[in-house]
Amino acid sequence: MESKTSTKLANLLQSCIDKKAHLAGKLLHAHILRTGLFFIDTFLSNRLLEFYSKCGNMNSSRRVFDKMPRKDIYSWNAILGAYCKANKLEDAHAVFVQMPERNTVSWNTLISALARSGFEKNALNAYYEMNWEGFMPTHFTLASVFSACGALVDVECGRGCHGIAIKIGLDKNMYVGNALLCMYTKCRLMGDAIKAFEDIPEPNEVSFTAMMGGLAETDEVEEALKMFMLMHRSRICIDSVSLSAVLGVCAREGCGESGLHDQCDRFSCNVHGQQVHGLTLKLGFERDLHLSNSMLDMYAKNGDMESSEMIFANMPDVSVVSWNVMIAGYGQRYQSQKAIEYLQRMQYSGFKPDEVTNINMLAACVKSGDIETGRKIFDSMSCPSLSSWNAILSGYFQDGNHKEAIKLFREMQFRHVQPDRTTFAIILSSCAGMGLLEGGKQVHAASQRASSHMDIYVASGLIGMYSKCGNTEMAKLIFDRMTELDTVCWNSMMAGFSLNSLDKEAFIFFEEMRKKGIYPTQFSYATVLSCCAKLSSLSQGRQVHGQIEKDGYINDVFVGSALIDMYSKCGYVDGARQFFDMMSCKNTVTWNEMIYGYAQNGRGDEAVRLYEDMIKSGQRPDGITFVAVLTACSHSGLVDEGIEIFNSMQLEHGVEPLLDHYTCIIDSLGRAGRFCEAEALLDKMPYKDDPIIWEVLLSSCRVHANVSLARRAAEELFRLDPHNSASYVLLANIYASLGRWDDARAVRELMSDKQVIKNPGYSWTEHKNGMQAFMVDDNLRMVDDEVEAVDAGTSCLNR
């Protein structure tokens, strides 16, 4: 009779468990206590434990467990499972330790809870202890362990468990196979992931979704899309999770991060996303909020905000995520006002902005150059995240406000916010921008305290900072101490040498980089070509050109522009033009380099013709274009052409004339002896207090023996730049050429009184062993910079 009653009560309790009927279950509990069955029927007691656990009532579960006179292994596993389900891991661990005996279920429950709650290392330690106690892992064990290995990117442990799975015959299990596949994708080992995928007898939607996500994360977007197509063809059930995953792939396929692609590019990027959108409607998932947010994100990242707007307007329900996606999308397209509009609408609709909203708004303002609004948003945050600090610091850096960036970094330290590699890289760039060596040293010390100074990203920033502040020795020391170096570090060191006129050292460094098997990038080639140009070493430049062709960078616009500059500065302007004509893709920089190449080599007519070709091609000239073509006009005596181009700058092309443009025109007029026009332009131009203008004019006065204007120009220079020897020497030479020796002596005496020293000039020559530099001293002897007191002629012959 008791057995029938127990069975009936157990069935009623099971019904309460299934329906989570808390009140009915409590009534049954009271009845069981009255009948006395609780103290004699362990099965019923275990059912009560399970019931309270299912209803989330841990206190009652624990009371039932503590009052049970006879506890079996199921009772201990039930209370352990209840604590794990409630995420009370300390209590769970205490129960686990007290268990008189454990079975595989006990270990699986604990390992699964630890892995699920972010305690992956503890989960692996528990797994090792389980093995040591002789328990065989099950498919549940291995799935949890693979999950922990993936989160920790612990490939060694993952491979070891993979071997065990094969050994005990669980490698073909669907649950284990999917977990193994996810582990390899999280470790970015796509070759192993593909092999694991192929080993699953019948892959399901989880298998395909994991593969799509892994391929997308490793930028194999086309392969990820092919995986979705295979899933579709294989008639695998496509759910909202799969669709959301493939929309994430389509978002990566787009090139909308810059927000600058044209209508044709946008259509191309959206094709696959639109197809998935159509499939979503066909399968009836259009009301799924998570999927709709993925759709919004896909269109926004592809730069198609019109489609995002349409989807957003037709969504039956929206969430904070929906608003955040729209704000981020407009931020990517540099439309901070639209982002602000969506923020206001979000608040008006009753949604409270979260941290992601603030970060997206901040990023939108920074990208749009609206630093003032960005700072207001930042200041309104009660506790800005590290991402927010980095965003506003980046904004000040991009805006060129290095002083404010450094000030904000100091405040960040006072607030005890721990900087990361991005923070250090930004602030080191600001220190470099200001030439602030002492500040850079302090940031270096802070990076050492944070143990970030050996990070490649930070090291590259340190090398750049020390180089730009003129301390190449320290930059080289940091480089030499690095245990791991990437191309960026090599490039930073090369650029540092070049920046400090150590072009020979930069070229040697480039050769060493190649010997060590580091593949040069576009930046590497542009830097070394700049060094060849500054050294006027055509032979070395040609060698680099050959290597560029071999490495496949010949069609790169950045490298191509550097090649044109190198050939032009080495005097081989026809070679530069030949390469220019061969280039399939040209930008403004490319045109500028070629025009400037003609200007440097005194071929003004060809420079002007090329400038006209540039206008006809539809390429828009910028300020540098006009400096190049005006320089060409000045050097070739094309005064009227230069004036015509100068006058067209603002009227036809919307480019405001700056100091360099005025300098070119003053130089052009001065060379032609048209001093009245030059003085008229001087009197109305906005750059009267710049010494460059007066120096150019003084040089022209010497050629045409215009003493009165030369005197005015020299007096302005004495006022603006009293320690520059050029103005004194030029004026003295003008007086001397006219036989006015007393005036020339007076200028020399003035130079002596002000302790102005004329620096010696340098020349160099190229020979089979490299470049040789010479200094011309006052006795007109040429002195080798490496071997003193060697006659120039003998030096060249010996080499």
Which residue carries 């930008």 as its tokens? 587
Q: How far apart (Å, rounded) are the C-alpha atoms in residues 663 and 685?
A: 10
Query: 206-257: per-residue pLDDT in tens?
Result: 888 888 888 888 878 888 888 888 888 888 888 888 888 888 888 876 544 3
**Tokens (6 digits) for 154:** 């612990």
Which residues pair with residue 771 across a beta bridge?
Answer: 766
- Sequence-distant (≥ 6) Cβ neighbours of residue 51 within 8 angstroms: 13, 16, 17, 25, 29
Which residues pair with residue 772 across a beta bridge?
Answer: 765
Q: What is the pLDDT of residue 260?
A: 37
Q: What is the pLDDT of residue 754?
A: 59
The one-letter amino acid code at 693 reads: I
First-last CA distance in the chain: 116
The one-letter amino acid code at 611 reads: Y
**Tokens (6 digits) for 445:** 């010390």
Q: What is the pLDDT of residue 360?
A: 86
Question: What is the strand order of the sheet 761-767 is part of?
Answer: 761-767, 770-776, 782-784
User: Is residue 243 a contact partner of residue 285, using CB atoms and an 8 Å limit?
Assistant: yes
Query: 612-642: per-residue pLDDT in tens?
Result: 999 998 889 999 999 999 999 988 889 899 9
Compute how many other C-beta atoms are within 10 angstroms of the C-beta atom of residue 365: 27
Phi, psi of 226 (to 5 degrees): -65, -35
User: Is residue 279 a contact partner of residue 285, using CB atoms and an 8 Å limit?
Assistant: no
User: Is residue 305 a contact partner of residue 290, using CB atoms and an 8 Å limit?
Assistant: no
Phi, psi of 408 (to 5 degrees): -70, -35
Spans of all domains in the chain: 760-799
Whole-prediction pTM: 0.62
CA dihedral 636, 640, 641, 644 (to 10 degrees): 150
Residue 775 gets which letter from DSSP?
Answer: E
From the list 105, 57, 43, 63, the residue with the least C-alpha distance to 80 is 105
From the list 443, 511, 445, 500, the residue with the least C-alpha distance to 476 is 500
What is the DSSP annotation of 430-497?
HHHHHT-HHHHHHHHHHHHHTT-TTSHHHHHHHHHHHHHTT-HHHHHHHHHH-SS--HHHHHHHHHHH
Q: What is the pLDDT of residue 374?
A: 85
Question: 692, exposed or middle or buried, with CB in 10 Å at 0-12, 13-18, 19+?
Answer: middle
Q: What is the pLDDT of residue 286?
A: 80
From the list 271, 275, 276, the residue with the least C-alpha distance to 253 is 271
User: For the stretch 614-641, what's the b/e string if a residue is b when 16 or more beta carbons lie within 10 angstroms of its beta carbon?
Assistant: beeeebebebbbbbbbbbbbbbbebbeb
Chain centroid to Cα 179, Å, comes to 31
Tell me the three state secondary structure of residue 763: strand
Compute how many other C-beta atoms are within 10 angstroms of the C-beta atom of residue 713: 27
Q: How far apart (Å, rounded) are the C-alpha atoms in residues 763 and 781?
A: 12
**Tokens (6 digits) for 626:** 């006009």
Mean pLDDT by 10 residues, the chain (799 residues): 62 72 70 63 73 79 80 86 88 89 91 91 92 91 92 91 91 90 90 89 88 84 85 84 85 52 46 84 86 89 87 89 90 84 89 85 82 85 86 88 90 89 91 89 88 84 90 90 85 90 90 88 91 89 90 87 91 92 88 92 92 90 92 90 90 88 88 85 80 81 76 74 69 71 71 62 55 50 41 34
Tell me the three state secondary structure of residue 782: strand
**Tokens (6 digits) for 751:** 């130079």
